[in-house]
Every structure is written in C-alpha cells, then in structure tokens.
C-alpha cells in the first residue's frame, strides 16, 4: 500500500523515512485483529496511527472510540471503560454502558495507557485474552468484540520494572509495536510543517503568512523541539498573531523558543539534539542518591577522624556547608547541630541517611511544588512526569 494517499487522507505532513515506516506498519497490520501499541513522545502525533488502523480494517464501519486514560480519575475509570450497574456506587442512579460495550464490533484507542491503575490493568487483560468484561457492581460477565489499540509516551519496560505496569499486559498490547518519531528525528519535515501551519494561521487570521530568513530557518531546524509537532504549531500561532513584520529573523524567532537549558532534556553541543533522550524520573532519583551518598561518605570520614581525637569539631557551621552533622548528649537524649561549649565532652553518633527511593521521590516532589509555588502543572513538567501521576503521588503521600 502506498503511503502518499494515506498522508493526504489523514492530513499527515512530512516525508521522513521514519514517519513513512510507521504509516506503512499501521496500514499493513490494519486488516488483522492484532493489538497495536504506539510509542512516541508527547505531541508527536501518535493519535493518527490508530485512525489509520481502524480505517483500513474490516471494522471500519463499526464505532471508533478514543479514550484518554490519563484524563479520567482513578476512582471512575473502571466505570468509564466497563460500565456500571445502578446503585453500584454513590451517584450511580442508573446503569451505564462502558466504552468496551459501546465499541463492540469496532476499535477502541487507549491513549496514555501507561497511566492505567493496576486494578484496571487486570480488567483490561481479561478483555484482551477472553473478550469478556464485568460491569462495576455486577457479577455477570459480558462479551465484547473490540480491536484494542493503545499509545504511550513513557518507557513501558521501565514502568514494568518499577511495578507500575503489568508485564503480561504489556506484551499482550505490544503484539505489533509502532514507533512514531520525534520531530527532532524528522529534521527534513520541520520547515515543511512550519510553512503548513503558517498558511493555516494566515487563513484563520486573514493576514499574510509568516516566512523565515535563512538564519531563522537554521535555528528552527537546530532546535530540539521537546514538545514536538504540538509545540511547533503553537509557536507558529503565537508569531502569526503577535509579530507585525511577516518575515521572521533568527533573533525574533529565538525570543519565542524556550531556553533549552531549563528543560529536563540533554542537549548536544551543536544544538542538533542527536539521539539523546529526555532524562527520566528514575535517572534523576539515582543521580540524587549518588550525590547524597558521596556527601554521606565524606561526613562519616570526618566523624571517624573526630572520634579518634585527631582534631576537634569546628565551632562554626561554615566548615560543613550543606551537610548534616549531629551531636548527641547521652544524659539528656537531645540532639543538637553544633557544640555550644568548647570544653564539653560530647559523644558523636553517625546518622545514616535514608536511601529509600520513595523518600527521595517525596523530597523531589516537595521541592518541585515549593519551587513552583504549588502549581502542579509546572511541577510535573519539572519532574518529567504527568500531572495525573504527580496528583496521585501527592494524594498517596499526603503532601500539603
């Protein structure tokens, strides 16, 4: 099957071989009933792939339902997907069909499937393996004939290793994987997309389309685009509305591009981005633990030397910047930060710092919330996790 007609039908812009390959796989797997897992960064355009799968399948005349799993609260997601019986929970005034029942004979697309709670993952696995589901509050199993496609912007293997996603469900969903390339991997498409969005904005706002100088075009291509196609579209919209001069130079364009060194993504020295990936939550935690471990080892060595009487403890806090040092009074049971008299004999006790990953996660979450004054969206972006995941952690740990 040729790729170009599919692009025209679904409004896909670009000529990248990586993009063409993703479209080819979607079209080839469409006639089967195999489950498809679409991977790719947020904003890269994953949502068009399940539409291609549905349109070229035998189910094309059946319903197509797209569900954003990350946008549904954990307490109601089972009801949304599988339905509920009247009186099954507070507010269930009547029975309701779930998406799997409504989509019978068609295709259901589960976006952000990595955000599903573990209990819901068990129910989903049963649907995939047996075609059966049970409404919330019911004991009767019902049948459904649904083709499941799913998408995620997280590393599913790492989610499996952390116990956040069931391994059996991952392999059941990942029968046919489709990888949607990030925009920085489609450099030949960046300016093409810019011109397309500029034409759209010009038509919408009744103004000439914006264009780029040569140096601005080079800057556009060299930027990493962490927000991918969605970020590029938003940037073109901003410039089209704000700038009066319709030819945009590099200096003007740079004013609309977020500074790369403020994002949680590594950048190359050439600005091209290469094949480096975003620093994930686990790597940040391990880096934090490693740094704290080094500090703790240095502190323990100082306490050992002091315990051997080779030198006295300094009387000012400047000697140990950003380190925790405690002295314990045996007779009172009190712990203090420094000596309050120079001649007093004090027994020193080494304090083992907690190296629990969960404790460090809590500390990172608190620091991010403090930094952004409680704004969860910005704190989640800083931590490299979804806002729903951050909300769940805040609720779980009782963070104010």
Span 4-28, pLDDT tens digits: 999 999 999 999 999 999 999 999 9
pTM over 0.75: no
Residue 66: strand, helix, or coil? strand
Number of folded domains that form the chain: 4
CB 130 within 8 A of CB 168: no
Residues 248, 308 within the same domain = no
Strands laid side by side in the 347-348 sheet: 335-336, 327-328, 347-348
Alpha carbon distance 30, 93 (integer Å): 39
Long-range Cβ pairs for the range 125-130 (8 Å, 24+): 125/166, 125/168, 125/169, 125/172, 127/100, 128/35, 128/169, 128/172, 128/173, 129/172
Task: Among 55-64, 129-138, 290-299, name the most confident range.
Answer: 55-64
Residues 153, 90 within the same domain = yes
CB 121 within 8 A of CB 78: no
Helix (H) or strand (E) holding 150: strand 147-152
Q: Average pLDDT for residues 310-326, to the nearest whole number?
A: 40
Q: Residue 384's pLDDT is what?
A: 78
278 inside domain: no
372 inside domain: yes
386 inside domain: yes
Residues 10, 150 within the same domain = yes
CA atoms within 13 A on the CB side of 41: 22
Q: Which positions ≥6 away from 186 have C-beta within 8 Å?
A: 14, 16, 18, 19
Last residue of a domain, one of 207, 232, 262: 262
Last residue of a domain, one of 153, 181, 209: 181
CB 46 within 8 A of CB 70: no
Q: Residue 291's pLDDT is what?
A: 61
Alpha carbon distance 393, 283 (integer Å): 18
Residues 198, 241 within the same domain = yes
Residues 29, 98 within the same domain = yes
Last residue of a domain, one of 121, 152, 181: 181
DSSP 20: H
Query: For residue 222, is it left (φ>0), alpha (ψ between -120 and 50) or beta?
Result: alpha
276 inside domain: no
Alpha carbon distance 48, 19 (integer Å): 12
Residues 200, 174 within the same domain = no
Percentage, residues of the chain above pLDDT 90: 56
Task: Dump pLDDT digits (tens) for 85-132.
Answer: 888 777 778 888 999 999 999 999 999 999 999 999 999 999 999 999
Alpha carbon distance 180, 175 (integer Å): 16
CB 105 within 8 A of CB 124: no
CB 36 within 8 A of CB 51: no
274 inside domain: no
267 inside domain: no
Residues 235, 255 within the same domain = yes
**To the nearest 10°, the Cα dihedral for 130, 134, 140, 144?**
-50
CATH number for the domain spanning 82: value is 3.40.50.300
* 372 class by beta-carbon count within 10 Å (0-12 exposed, 13-18 middle, 19+ buried): middle
Give the tokens for residue 112: 């952000």
Strand locations in 208-307, DSSP E? 211-212, 247-248
Question: Does the structure show a pLDDT above 50 at 276?
Answer: no
Residues 328, 372 within the same domain = no
Question: Does the structure show a pLDDT above 70 at 274?
Answer: no
Residues 304, 362 within the same domain = no
Question: Does the structure show a pLDDT above 50 at 319?
Answer: no
Q: Which residue has the higher pLDDT, 48 or 330?
A: 48
CB 67 within 8 A of CB 76: no
Q: Residue 113's pLDDT is what?
A: 94
CB 236 within 8 A of CB 197: yes
Domain range for 386 is 356-397
Alpha carbon distance 92, 49 (integer Å): 35
303 inside domain: yes
Q: Residue 172's pLDDT is what?
A: 94
């Amino acid at each position: 099957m040729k790729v170009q007609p599919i692009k025209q039908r679904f409004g896909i812009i670009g000529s990248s071989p990586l993009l063409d390959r993703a479209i080819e796989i979607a079209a080839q797997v469409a006639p089967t009933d195999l489950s498809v897992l679409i991977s790719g960064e947020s904003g890269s355009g994953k949502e068009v792939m399940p539409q291609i799968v549905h349109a070229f399948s035998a189910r094309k005349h059946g319903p197509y339902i797209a569900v954003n799993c990350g946008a549904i609260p954990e307490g109601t997601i089972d009801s949304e997907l599988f339905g509920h019986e009247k009186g099954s929970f507070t507010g269930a005034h009547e029975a309701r069909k779930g998406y799997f029942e409504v989509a019978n004979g068609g295709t259901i697309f589960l976006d952000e499937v990595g955000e599903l709670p573990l209990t819901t993952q068990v129910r989903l696995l049963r649907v995939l393996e047996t075609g059966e589901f049970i409404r919330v509050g019911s004991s009767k199993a019902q049948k459904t004939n649904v083709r499941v496609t799913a998408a995620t912007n997280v590393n599913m293997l790492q989610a499996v290793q952390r116990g956040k996603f069931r391994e059996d469900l991952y392999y059941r969903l990942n029968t046919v994987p489709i990888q949607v390339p990030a925009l920085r991997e489609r450099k030949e498409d960046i300016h093409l997309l810019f011109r397309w969005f500029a034409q759209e904005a010009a038509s919408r706002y009744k103004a000439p389309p914006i264009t780029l100088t040569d140096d601005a075009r080079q800057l556009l291509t060299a930027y990493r685009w962490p927000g991918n196609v969605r970020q590029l579209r938003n940037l073109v919209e901003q410039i089209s509305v704000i700038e009066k001069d319709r030819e945009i130079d590099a200096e003007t364009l740079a004013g609309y591009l977020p500074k790369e060194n403020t994002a949680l993504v590594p950048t190359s020295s050439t600005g091209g981005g290469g094949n480096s990936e975003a620093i994930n939550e686990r790597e940040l935690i391990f880096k934090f633990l490693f740094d704290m471990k080094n500090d703790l080892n240095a502190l323990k060595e100082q306490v050992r030397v002091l315990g051997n009487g080779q030198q006295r403890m300094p009387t000012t806090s400047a000697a140990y910047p950003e380190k925790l040092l405690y002295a314990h009074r045996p007779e009172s049971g009190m712990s203090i930060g420094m000596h309050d008299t120079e001649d007093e004999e004090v027994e020193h006790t080494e304090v083992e710092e907690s190296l629990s990953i969960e404790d460090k996660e809590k500390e990172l979450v608190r620091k991010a919330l403090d930094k952004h004054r409680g704004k969860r969206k910005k704190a989640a972006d800083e931590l490299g996790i979804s806002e729903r995941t951050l909300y769940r952690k805040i609720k779980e740990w009782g963070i104010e």
